[in-house]
Structure 1
Amino acid sequence: MKFGCHVSIREGYLGAAKHTAALNASAFQYFPKNPRSLTVKKFDKIDAASCREYCQQHSLTSIAHTPYPTSLTPSHDKREAVIESLINDLEIAEACGSVGIVVHFGSQISSHDPLASYQLMIEVLNDVTSKWEGVCKILLENNAGKPGSIGTTFEELVQVRNLCENPLKIGFCLDTCHAFASGLWDGDNWEALAVKGQELSYFKELYAIHFNNSKFQSGLGKDRHANIFKGGHIKKKQFEELINSPVLKEVPFILETPSKEGITHKDEIEQLQHTWG
């Protein structure tokens, strides 16, 4: 199993990769630039190339996460900034050797037209992928809203990808806390969910898992991450069913869990490796 966590680029992209190795992890996630800004970054290409080489030498898998202001359903005045920022994220992640960049599914923008959000998402994704020539993918992440909220089902994620002009440049990232919060996965329906995902070809395009427990019960729509073995509502045996699923065999599990609640990411990764490694 590939276990890892989100790491800082405070010491550069190569530094992030070396920190991952020091954690005895085999995967990591990072923000390619300031997580609170859409400003295009002129990045250190030598540092990025060194990160790519180091990851290849040490068999590390990485993904990037887009900055918080990134939205696939942007307001008209933010649309170009979002597109330019996404292309910049792809360029950085490609240079670092990352599989893809994670971006959250869009949000509801119209109270009277339920299709407006999906149409805008597809337009933005088409704009980005038409300008992107690399192999790094955009990874759509499932939302954590209450049941029925936009972006909480496999069907939506798959359909948006299928309707894009360049679907081969798009994949998925599954967040376990989001899935639990939205009721997509209630902890006891993984077998049925795995069948549905296979029927929709969702798992064929799944490149990363955000591996998080939930501080709240399933179906409440609350996105509050908990540590895997501490303070969460998802039980060990429920995680075990998910982890042992053949459809997730090659997918890296990346922690976005709290690191200030009595357990470090290093300790948590060691626990994961001891339990399921």
Structure 2
Amino acid sequence: MFVGCHVSIRNGYLGAAKTAFAIGANSFQYFPKNPRSMGVKAFDAKDAEACRRFAQERGLVSIGHTSYPTNLAVDEEDMRERTVKHLRNDLEIAEACGSLGVVVHFGHAKGGEPLEGYKRMIRLLDELLHDWRGEAKILLENNAGQGSRMGTTIEELVQVRSLLAAPDRVGFCLDTCHAFASGLWRGSNWKEVAAHMRSSGYFSSLAAVHLNDSVYPSGSFRDRHAPVGRGEIGLEAFSEFLQTPELAEVPIILETPAPAIGGHREEILLVRKLADRQEGVFDLEK
């Protein structure tokens, strides 16, 4: 199983890959550029290529994550054009680094008009991807339900993708905290949720998972990540989740608060134990 965490590019893209490898991860996520802005970055192509080679040689899988201000359902024309340029730049960086794609949160509509929001998302993604020929994909992430409640259901994600001119250039990233916060996953109903994902075709386009516990209960619509097993979801629910056959080769990325000592190394080991249901793995909850 490909298990890892989000890592910094403070020391470049190659540095990010080396950081992940050093803590025992075989997958990782990174911000292609400043996570607080939406500029276009003139990136170091040699550094990106070195990252690609290092990852290939050591069996690492990576994904990028776009910046926080990005909104696929933006309504202002100048902001839409800026978003397209920004995301194209992210895709170019991800492609150069050999990453599977770039995670982008499902859009949110201002004024609570989801139908118009869906239309704007489709228009923006079609413009972004119409001449994109790289292997890196846009990976739509489910939302926790804040604001307009857009992007919280499997139907929305699958339908928006199906309406794109080039749906093959878009995949999904499943965030477990978001799924829990939105009420999609209640912890005890994973078999039901997984069956729905199979029948809808969601799993066939799933490219990554953000594995995060939740500080708040299911249905709270509050996005606050907790370490695996330290939140409302719990170890038993995560163990069941991780044994899903469709997740066997999908990169599992931790976006949980990093411990002060040792980083995510121990949490990565815990996730692998949960997937194997190793003896003593549930002692954390006792």
TM-score bucket of the superposed structures, by smaller chain: over 0.9
Alignment correspondent of 2:106: 105
After TM superposition, the structure 1 stretch with the greater mean CA deviation from structure 2, 57-66 or 76-85, is: 76-85
Structure-to-structure mapping, 1:1-277, within 5 angstroms: 1-76=1-76, 77-111=78-112, 113-145=113-145, 149-230=149-230, 232-260=231-259, 264-276=263-275
Deviations 1:159-207 (CA, angstroms, capped at 9, x unpaired): 0000000100000000000000000000011111111111111001000
Relative to the length of structure 2, the TM-score reads 0.92
Deviation at residue 136 of structure 1 after TM alignment: 0.4
Matched residue type, 2:221: G
Alignment correspondent of 2:282: none
Alpha-carbon distance between aligned partners in 1 of 2:127 and 2:245, rounded to the nearest angstrom:
35
Question: Runs ≥4 in structure 1, deviation > 6 angstroms?
Answer: none
Identity among equivalent pairs (%): 52
Matched residue type, 1:191: K
Matched residue type, 2:218: S
Matched residue type, 2:107: G
Relative to the length of structure 1, the TM-score reads 0.95
Give the secondary-structure state (helix, strand or coil) at the position aligned to 1:210.
Answer: strand
Alpha-carbon distance between aligned partners in 2 of 1:178 and 1:51, rounded to the nearest angstrom:
30
Q: Is the 8 A contact 1:151 1:157 kept in 2?
A: yes
Q: Is the 8 A contact 1:147 1:183 kept in 2?
A: no
Q: Which runs of 5+ in 2 are unaligned?
A: 277-286
Alpha-carbon distance between aligned partners in 2 of 1:67 and 1:148, rounded to the nearest angstrom:
20
Deviations 1:135-159 (CA, angstroms, capped at 9, x unpaired): 1000000000169821000100000
Matched residue type, 2:55: C
Cα–Cα, structure 1 residues 114 and 48, in superposed 2: closer, same or farther, change >3 Å?
A: closer
Q: Is the 8 A contact 1:110 1:117 kept in 2?
A: no
Deviation at residue 114 of structure 1 after TM alignment: 3.7
Deviation at residue 79 of structure 1 after TM alignment: 0.8
Deviation at residue 60 of structure 1 after TM alignment: 0.2
Q: Is the 8 A contact 1:147 1:182 kept in 2?
A: no
Matched residue type, 2:239: E
Q: Which runs of 5+ in 1 are unaligned?
A: none
Cα–Cα, structure 1 residues 19 and 263, in superposed 2: closer, same or farther, change >3 Å?
A: closer
Q: Is the 8 A contact 2:73 2:108 kept in 1?
A: yes
Deviation at residue 260 of structure 1 after TM alignment: 4.5
Deviation at residue 110 of structure 1 after TM alignment: 4.0
Deviation at residue 108 of structure 1 after TM alignment: 2.3
Cα–Cα, structure 1 residues 59 and 116, in superposed 2: closer, same or farther, change >3 Å?
A: same
Alpha-carbon distance between aligned partners in 1 of 2:123 and 2:39, rounded to the nearest angstrom:
21
* Alignment RMSD (CA, Å): 1.6
Aligned length: 275
Alpha-carbon distance between aligned partners in 2 of 1:160 and 1:243, rounded to the nearest angstrom:
26
Deviation at residue 267 of structure 1 after TM alignment: 2.0
Cα–Cα, structure 1 residues 147 and 68, in superposed 2: closer, same or farther, change >3 Å?
A: closer
Deviation at residue 273 of structure 1 after TM alignment: 2.8
